[in-house]
Structures are given as C-alpha cells and as structure tokens.
Structure 1
Amino acid sequence: MSWLDSTVHRAMIEAALVGVLGGVVGVFVIARRLPFFTMALTHGTFPGIVIAALLGVDLYLGGGVFGLLVVLAVVVFSRARGQDFTAATGIALSGGFALGVVLVSAQDGFSKDLTAYTVGDVLAVSTTDLVITAGVAVVVLVVMAALGKELLLVAFDRDGASAVGLPTAVLDFALLAIIEVTVVATVPALGAILTVALLVGPAATARLITDRLVLLFPIAVAVGVSCALAGVWVSTQWNVAAGASIALFCGAAFGVAFLASVLRGRLRPAAGVLAPPAAVPEEARA
C-alpha cells in the first residue's frame, strides 16, 4: 500500500509542506510586521468563498482569486495620500468580509457548509490537495529565492531600495500575494481562522532564538514542520482537532522560546533584525 493511500500519511505530508511554507513566508511576515494583514486576509477572502459556493466552483479557488484582488486594493489604498498600510488593510479587508456577509444574507436558503474552509481538517486532505500544496510550495519558494534579497532590502531599507531603482510597489504586491497564496494553501490543514498561527508563530519563535537573518529561515522551517507534525500526531492519538493542535504547538514553541530568552536576558527594547514599519509606502507616510 502506498503512503498516499493512508489518511495519516497524507496528513503528515500535508503538515510538513505547510510547515515549510509557514516557516519561510513567516520570516517575511515578521520582518515586514504583517501579522495583522495575515490575520485580516483570512476574513477578506470570505466573499470569494461565498461566490465560489454560489457558482458551484472550488472554494479555495474562489478565496484565492478574491484574495489577490484584496491584496491589490490594499497596495493601491496604502499609496493614497494621508493613508498608511494598516488603515488600508483595515478598510479593504473589513469591507471584503462585509461584502461576503451581504452576499450570504441576500441568498434565501443559503446552506453551503463552509466549516471545512473556516476550521480545516488536515486528516481529510486528498492526494489532489497534496499536489496543489506541493505546487504552491514550489512556486512560492522559487519566487522567494528569486526576489528574496529585494524583498528584504525593501523591508529593512525602503529608502535605499527606492534609491537603487527597485519597484517598491510591485515588490509590496508580490510579497502580499505570496502571503495570500500561502494562506489559501494552508487553509485545508488549519482553516482560515488558525492559519495565522503557522504564518507567525514559527518565525516569531525563530526570532527569539537567533539574531542572524541567515538562521531565521531554517529555524522557522524546523519549528513550523515540527509543530505541524506534532499537531497531527496528537490529533490521531487523542482524537482532537488537528488544526487547533498545530496552532497550540506553535504557541507553546513561542512560549518556551520566550521564557528561554528571558532567562538568558536576551530580550531587548528594540529587535535589531526587524525592520521599521517599512511596509508603509513612502507616499502614504508623506
């Protein structure tokens, strides 16, 4: 019997894939201080889910497409005079969630079960889901490898990036789109509500362990994969929700790293490797 024929084995592979995605992308989320955007994005994709349910197409496809539109709106709004990135995120993503609620309320007898999207179920992933997640992981990692230096330069020195001619708005959109695609790819395992745990927890834990940027990525990936696999194992042993278990392990890992940092006296008022709020475009800060 093939490994892919086993529910648990498929869940383990899916967990490892989303752990890698969460670890790598999470470093950029932390560096650009985008946890709020990541959390809000899960709500902003809701209209796409509703529209997909009404049209009878794949829910994740609907959420992904609408999420990209929301990302574009955030980038455009944040570059308007007198607006900043956080305000643009709140406006675009709360507006998106409101649109989803309106669409649901306008449909008499709307009964599509959206539980799978909101809370996830890694033990229910299919071979097709694995292929899609693996494909997303490959694309995201390739893009990160190609644009990683530029994305980090924008994060740590936006003025310098602009001075050397980097298209900061395009790079903003690319990073936010990568986060959005990663959120959608992680949803089958953790659901839209808990996905943020895997995109923030491992990277935040790695940040407490090391100041060296080159080590942040492997440590974040190791933490992400370990928490994801541990969550699946606990779920199969004690019949509890896998997504919630993964999120709890991410929180526990951060808690342990935080306590260790306190005991070693490593906590500082300002984190050296983290950028200033560079996600805010220059026009918005003018």
Structure 2
Amino acid sequence: MSWLDSYTHRALLEAALVGAVCGAMGVHVVLRRMGFFTMAMTHATFPGVVLAAVVGIDIYLGGAAMGVLICLCVLAVSRRRDQGATTATGIVLAAGFALGVALLSASDGFSRDLEAFMTGSIVTVTGHDLAVTAGVGALVLLVLAALHKELVHGAFDPEGQRAAGYPVAALDLLLLVLIEAVIVITAPAIGVMLAMALIVGPAATARLWTDRIGITLPLSMAIGTGSCAVGLTLSTHTNLAAGGTITLVVAAVFLVSLALSPHNGLLRLPLRRRAASTG
C-alpha cells in the first residue's frame, strides 16, 4: 500500500504544495498591490470551470484557457488611456463571472456538483490533482525564480524598467498568467472563490514582519504551508469544511501578526514610545 493511497496523506501533500506555491506567488501580488485583481480573477475562472464541466473536458484546461483569454482582455483594456486598470479589471472579470452563471443556467440536466470547485474539497483530491499541482507549481516557482529580479524591479519602478528597455508588457502578461495558473491548481484544495485568501494572506502577513524581499518570500511560503496544514488538521477534528477552515486560519494568522508585529503591527507605536522613554 502506497503512502498516497490514504486520502489524508494526499490532502496533506496537496495542502503543502498549494500553500508553498500560493505563498510565493502572493509576494508579487502584494508588491504590485494586485489584491483586487486576484480576487476578481478567481471569479473569472468560474466560467472556464463550468464550460469544461459541461463539455466534459479537464477542468484545469478549461480554467486555464479562460484565464489566459481574460488576462489578454484585461491587459488590452487596461492599457487604454481612457480606462484605468482597476476599472477595466472590474468590468471584464465581472463579465466573466456572469458568463459562467449564464452557462450554468443554460445547461439543462447539468448535474455535476460544482461546489467543490467553488469552495474546495481537499480531502477528495486525486493523484491526478496532486500531479497537476506539483507540475504546474514547480513550473511557476521556476519562472518566479528565473525572473525574480525583473518582476521585483517592475513592482517598484515600472517606468524605470520600461526606460531600461525591459519588455514590460510581456512581463505583466506573464505575471497575470502565473496568477491564473496558481488559482486553477488551487481550485481542488480550497476552491476558486477562496483562493485569493491563500495567495494574498501569507504574503501580506510576511510583509508585516519584514521589509526584505529575500526574507519575505520564504516566510510567505512557510506561512502558506503551515496555515494549510493547520487548517486541514482543524477541519478533520471539527468536521468543518477544509477550504473554509484553511481560509480562517490564514485570516487569523494575519490578524495576530497585525497586532503583534514589532515593525509594522499595531504594537509598533507603544514599543517606539517605550524605547523613546528609556532612551
């Protein structure tokens, strides 16, 4: 009997994988302040999942194809001078979610349960899910590592990067595609609607404790993996939904860090006052 034959072991491995990948991806999302875009993108993945389920193809392919299409639409519309990036993102991605609802309502006799793709069902992940998560996750991490300098440069000084001759549009599109890929592989674990918390939460928490990117990245990955493991364990013992429990753990860790962080948390002012009085 293989170690992966146990559904609890598969769930634990899936939690570790998505936690690490989401933690790494989230650093770039937080640096570029793309939290709203990520939330909207999770909604826009829905029509691809529905369409794939309706026609009977792999949901990963459906979600990824729709995500790439929507990334192109957002990038094209947001670059118009008369439209801001936030406005374009909201309109295009809301339309994408509406398309998913329309497809679902128009599919008479469609009986497949989409709840698992909306809020996740990590305890039912299959070997195929693990293989996809591991493969795509490894590719995402490799790309992020290879282009780390360029992506960080673009986050802090996009105009300078453009002036230096970097392909800014291509890098922006690549980042959008990577975000979509992470959302798609996270769907079986916590669902497309909760993926935003796992992508943004660990990175935002890590930034509360350090301003150094070299430390933020591994810390965010560790927080993501740990939150998934703790959330999965709690859901198993309390018989609660794993996706929701993981999301609550991510939120709890962020709130605790917000209060306790000595550099960026709510306690920074009392600590500074104490240091000033003793100095």
TM surpasses 0.5: yes
- Aligned position for 1:69: 69
Matches within 5 A, 1:93-172: 93-172=93-172
Q: Aligned equivalents of 1:148 and 1:142: distance in 2?
A: 10
Give the letter for the 2:98 counterpart.
Answer: A
Give the letter for the 1:193 counterpart.
Answer: M
- Percent identity at matched positions? 52
Change (3 A) 1:266 1:100: farther
Q: Aligned equivalents of 1:266 and 1:116: distance in 2?
A: 45
Matched, 1:22 2:26: no
Q: Aligned equivalents of 2:113 and 2:240: distance in 1?
A: 21
- Aligned position for 1:279: none
Match of 1:263 among 237, 256, 267: 267
Q: Aligned equivalents of 2:51 and 2:242: distance in 1?
A: 27
TM-score (norm 1): 0.90
Q: Is the 8 A contact 2:133 2:185 kept in 1?
A: yes
Q: Is the 8 A contact 2:206 2:216 kept in 1?
A: yes
Matches within 5 A, 1:169-248: 169-248=169-248
Divergent runs of 4+, >4 A: none
Q: Aligned equivalents of 2:234 and 2:113: distance in 1?
A: 26
Q: Aligned equivalents of 2:80 and 2:36: distance in 1?
A: 20
Q: Aligned equivalents of 1:27 and 1:100: distance in 2?
A: 29
Change (3 A) 1:27 1:64: same
Aligned-partner SS, 1:82: coil
Give the letter for the 1:264 counterpart.
Answer: R
Matched, 1:37 2:37: yes
Q: Aligned equivalents of 1:200 and 1:54: distance in 2?
A: 31
- Aligned position for 1:57: 57
Change (3 A) 1:222 1:160: same
Q: Aligned equivalents of 1:204 and 1:220: distance in 2?
A: 8
Change (3 A) 1:52 1:83: same
The two structures, once aligned, show a CA RMSD in angstroms of 1.4
TM-score (norm 2): 0.92
Give a deviation string over 1:40-96, Cα, whole Å, max 9, x none.
111112221222122111223211110111011111111112112111111110111
Aligned-partner SS, 1:193: coil
Q: Aligned equivalents of 1:106 and 1:226: distance in 2?
A: 41
Give the letter for the 2:227 counterpart.
Answer: C
Q: Please say which of residues 23-32 and 51-60 is displaced more in the overlay.
A: 51-60
TM superposition shift of 1:2: 2.1
- Aligned position for 2:277: none
Give the letter for the 2:244 counterpart.
Answer: A
Give the letter for the 2:104 counterpart.
Answer: V
Q: Aligned equivalents of 2:67 and 2:132: distance in 1?
A: 17
Q: Aligned equivalents of 1:2 and 1:264: distance in 2?
A: 50
Q: How many residues align?
A: 267
Matches within 5 A, 1:79-94: 79-94=79-94
